[in-house]
Chains A and B, each alone.
Chain A
Amino acid sequence: DGGITQSPKYLFRKEGQNVTLSCEQNLNHDAMYWYRQDPGQGLRLIYYSQIVNDFQKGDIAEGYSVSREKKESFPLTVTSAQKNPTAFYLCASSIAPEGYEQYFGPGTRLTVT
């Protein structure tokens, strides 16, 4: 059963703590993405990776970090430097970076208090 998974679905953290969100895909896709969605808003790109061991900043990368050590996995760390981390985080993947549909995970809702 192919797909893209994110865990956990809900995550609560205290301010000042780093937190890592998991994203795994078994679709054999080269490209993976992290988006942030705030209530009633569209998606904003945080980081993306076109190939293993390579990634690029998106539009709102400050306060976030990623790694792409394996093709299947693209974890996102929300650091204490992110000023407003409470949001819905979506991971996606696609066969290739350009011109193809993206497959999305179910999302992780992060609440930082």
Chain B
Amino acid sequence: SQQGEEDPQALSIQEGENATMNCSYKTSINNLQWYRQNSGRGLVHLILIRSNEREKHSGRLRVTLDTSKKSSSLLITASRAADTASYFCATDGRNTDKLIFGTGTRLQVFP
């Protein structure tokens, strides 16, 4: 079962622009995480935000969490060609010890 749904499914931008990806989920969560996957590779953890947090920053990444709307957004500022990858949200539910991954957003950054 996939709890998270990312939006948009695909996003194309120019280098230097900002990229925003959204994630919606269905049930109450403890934490929400964002991961990046380069084509044909494993996933890399980007950031974890807990259910009692509303915003978190890491370098050029900014994550927000709105538990009332059951949604999160990932903002990548001043994008680079190297940011080209798929981005997944994953939720850690209150009644489960598993991470449930969304379907991902494919980001293409053109130089």
A and B bind: yes
State the Cβ distance, A42 to closest chain B Cβ, in Å: 4
A109 neighbours in B (Cβ, 8 Å): 40
Residues of chain A within 8 A of B67, CB atoms compared? none
- Is A90 close to B, CB under 8 A? yes
B residues in contact (CB < 8 Å) with A? 1-2, 4, 30-31, 33, 35, 40-45, 48, 50, 88, 92, 97-104
Instruction: For the complex, give the distance between the alpha carbons of A90 and B43 in Å.
Output: 9
Question: Of residues A44, A101, A102, A105, which shows the largest number of chain B Cβ atoms within 10 Å of its Cβ?
Answer: A101
**Contact assessment for B101 and A107 in the assembled complex, using a CB-CB cutoff below 8 Å:** no
| Contact, CB under 8 Å: B103 / A42 | yes
CB of B88 within 8 A of CB of A90, answer: no
Asked whether B42 lies within 8 Å of A90 as measured between CB atoms, the reply is yes
Interface residues of A in 71-113 (CB under 8 A from B): 88, 90, 92, 97-107, 109
